Amino acid sequence: MIARSRPLTLNECGAEARRPEITDISVQCGTSSVGLAVQICPVIYTGYNETLLILNHMTDSDCRATLDESVWPPVARFQFPLNVTHGCGSTFLTTSAAGTGVFSDFSNIQTVNISGVIRSVDPTTGTITYNAELKYFYSCAYPLEYLVNNTQIDVSASSIAVKDNNGSFISTLNMKLFSDPDFLQPLVIPSLGLELRTTVYVEVKAVNLTGRYHVLLDRCYASISPLPSNSSFFNLFVPCSKDRFTTVLENGESQRARFHFPAFRFVEQQNETVSTYYLHCITRLCETSTCSSFMQCNNRRKRDTAEDAAENAVRAAAEASADGVTEPYTITSRKLITKTESSDSKEEPLVDDDKDDSVAGLGAAVGVLAFVCAAALCVAAVFYKRLRN
């Protein structure tokens, strides 16, 4: 962006000096901010400049336009962050609709629409003016439901930075695994795999997210293949139901969600050295005031069983983009590996310590008895020989 000491003139615009058109504004719905660019030459042609364009009546310096002549035609740029409640006076409106595609289970999928207007301020003083009023409207729609799939368990922080594009409301989504209940020690997966029933602590966290929303895990499940529709899968928890060994510690209460489960293996991998599988989670962003309502079963479509709902979601995962819900963002890290056998040798089964002591005592008694019998036989043989002589 090039700074200049004087305003851009109409002569410098050349052929771009024309009447304003509806296509003169471009909107970039970014992950952590919204960017607006208005072609400045039509603005100058109408009698204004970048200093006379005001975003949502906000006169703060952070909400004012800057002239960018590094592109042609030159533009006036606005940019405001999404980590505040109302970015530069923008309106945040949340709407609900029935889910489709991978989210067809859910009767209430929310979308937040961020909108506003850029207006011109007429510098003319007097009763009349010859300058037309300029208005540039903008809006960005962000779905609040995301599918995090093809996710392999990691031994340290695993994150994805989503590139700026329309409808991406999360700039960074972290999935971390820990070995302790305080979520301080990263989980280390040995080359031979985790011991069965090792507790795996999982944290899903959103970063650079506006404070209006919390993270809510709707469903997490494991599958043998990175593509869940192509393999067996196991539900850790689904709407209104969870596996009895899975414990949800925090969900929908902040910008992180936590749960833990014991390491398991898939039966069909019993002939393999280790059992390998992948973790998948459907993550919702809910407004802080409505998160609790989404945890109620009556806000979801009635299905015969939770397993049927999960199976439908798995089959529809590949169709999410086509249905226009949201692209599935991928976090890829190392696999979750568990041993298919116990670390104890099959040839040396574990026995109780008390049983060991009794067996040892019995062996000693038998040895002493055998020694006494042998000595008695020797004495008897000696007496027999003497008597015979």
Report which of 142, 126, 123, 98 is spatially closest to residue 43, judged by C-alpha positions: 123
Q: What is the Cα–Cα distance from 129 to 19, expressed in whole angstroms?
A: 17
> 43 near 92, Cβ under 8 Å?
no
pLDDT reported for residue 228: 67
- Computed on alpha carbons and rounded to an integer, the radius of gyration of the chain in Å comes to 35
Q: What is the Cα–Cα distance from 352 to 175, expressed in whole angstroms?
A: 42
Tracing tokens 């851009």 back to the chain, one arrives at 8
Domain with CATH 2.60.40.3210 in the chain: 10-143
CATH topology of domain 10-143: Immunoglobulin-like (2.60.40)
pLDDT reported for residue 117: 92
- CATH 3.30.565.10 for domain 145-339, yes or no, is no
pLDDT tens digits, 40-78: 999 999 999 999 999 999 988 889 999 999 999 999 999
Ranges of residues in the chain whose predicted pLDDT is under 70 = 1-6, 83-86, 100-107, 147-173, 228-229, 239, 297-335, 340-376, 378-389
> 198 near 263, Cβ under 8 Å?
yes
pLDDT reported for residue 31: 75
Backbone φ and ψ for 205, nearest 5 degrees, come out as: -140, 140
Report which of 210, 235, 203 is spatially closest to residue 105, judged by C-alpha positions: 235
Report which of 76, 77, 108 is spatially closest to residue 95, judged by C-alpha positions: 108
pLDDT reported for residue 72: 92
pLDDT reported for residue 142: 83
pLDDT reported for residue 386: 65
pLDDT tens digits, 305-331: 444 544 544 444 444 333 333 333 433
**CB-count exposure of residue 384 (10 Å: 0-12, 13-18, 19+):** exposed
Q: CA torsion angle for 256, 164, 156, 316 (degrees, to 10)?
A: 70
Residue 346 has, within 13 A of its CA and on its CB side, a CA count of: 1
Domain with CATH 2.60.40.4100 in the chain: 145-339
pLDDT reported for residue 328: 38
Residue 304: which residues within 8 A CB-CB, separation 6 or more?
none
Amino acid identity, residue 15? A
pLDDT reported for residue 113: 85
